[in-house]
Structure 1
Amino acid sequence: MVVDGDERVEAFWLGLGLGLGLPGLIDVHTHFMPERVPAKVWAYFDAVGPLVGRAWPIAYRYEEAELLAVLRGFGVRAFALMISPHKPGTAQWLNGWAAGFAARTPDCLRTATFFPEAGAEDYVRAELGAGARVLTAHVQVGAYGPGDVRLDVVWGALAEAGAPVVVHCGSGPAPGKHTGPEPVGRLLARHPRLRLVVAHMGMPEYTDFLGMAERYEGVHLDTTMAFTDFAERAAPIPRTERGRLADLGGRILFGSDFPDLPYGYAHALEVLARLETGDDWLRGVCHGNARRLFGL
């Protein structure tokens, strides 16, 4: 149950935290799922699906209990899920599963999601009232625009509550009808107080999403897959953006995509050190920024 290089994960964060009280990592982007769903997802990656287009060997193909043991062994002290409804009626089912998962997994932030459908505002408000700490939206999987009129009251409720929302809205790994920075820009113009966490740094439209973070103080970005050798071959981040990454360090959060990684977990961390933005920046990205955002 050990991938080559896993022993380097603890060494990474211990090296950052020595004498500075860094207790471990916070991962804002993982993929624990209901029973039988992971096998379907992994089969898709094994078949080199049309959105991937290249080999994607799953590094951590274990049952739920083993996956939790691996993640905790890395020193991950808290984590959030990325749950993604793909049709009407599935969001509440996923929310029920996620609530149960969080109840039996105290280091998991209770996560909820939504879909453009009748009743979405009611169940989102109910989830917030029941203790949901983070919401998710995946416009590619859900095939809906963030500006869908049925979601306007939902976004308003989330802005009012100050609830963080992890949004997969970039056009990677392949563009969709509703992906890209323009729909999110229009959403933020309407709801500027939203606390959005742009998944994958907005891959591949990094520059545009960094600009949104500069314009809107509630916009954050997660590092999921970004900067890795795997992602850089297809969607490299321009070196000219390094200075902006440093300046926005307080709003960049570590995410991994665990367990659906085509490389070891250590690599997702070590590539952040390659950016040469300094240990204080890394400490914030790997722990402090998420702790503040989620009130941990």
Structure 2
Amino acid sequence: MQDSPSSSITSQSLQQTFLRVRSNKAFEIFVIAVIIVSALMIGAKTYELPPAVTQSIIILDWMVTGIFLMEILVRFLAEEKKSRFFLQPWNVFDTLIVVVSLIPIENSDMALIGRLIRIFRVLRMVSIIPELRLLLNSLVKALPQLGYIVALMFIIFYIYGAIGNMLFADINPVLWGDISISMLTLFRVMTFEDWTDVMYETMAVFPLSWSYYLSFLFLTAFAFLNMVIGIVVNTLEAEHAEQRAREALEHPEPTLAELKQDIAELKTLLKQR
């Protein structure tokens, strides 16, 4: 049985109404404000509060969950093709967070999981703000390339850790006792956390050991980290270009012929007046 034209028009009208609500800047700001309130409540729960305040936070938490549910429904109903809604990973993430938040597990063995899920509601800020979503998508797309850099950095850590263990284990077994401890010490050196104290300690026995630290810092803190930044920036630029291309397809610029036709129509309207 086919839908009547009137019901189809009503459905389209409702979809357009929900689309306008979803696209409304005030609605977006309201949802962001609710997410911030939700994050503040999570922080407030880490303190010892009077029972009345705790009860108020619980009630407010349910209100926030209800608003999140309403917002998900608005976004779902605003979608022209409902089947495409769950093809977007962020929509799936938001829906799972809201649905799990609706389950009353506060006084059960699953209470800890419920609280953890509510913490992840703060991540909804990323799905709401396009700029944050773009940054995170760029970082995810850069992960395969970053994986090779991490693997190469691990090789450098392993080589320098083995050398450090062989040379400096007798000087300070706490820092260079085995290769795993040596790699942890090298991580401390790479982050510049009192690395000069480590260097001066070994230089008292091996005066030229400064070359060991400087070469390691050059390879890791300077070369590799700059490579990581370069990959992330390039991926971000590519993501921006892809987004501009999508927007150009969705909102194409008028051609010269269309502009001439619009000018002719304006001239005709002016002559009629």
TM-score (norm. length: structure 2) = 0.22
Higher relative contact order (CA 8 A, sep 6+): 1
TM-score (norm. length: structure 1) = 0.21
Structure with the bigger percentage of strand: 1
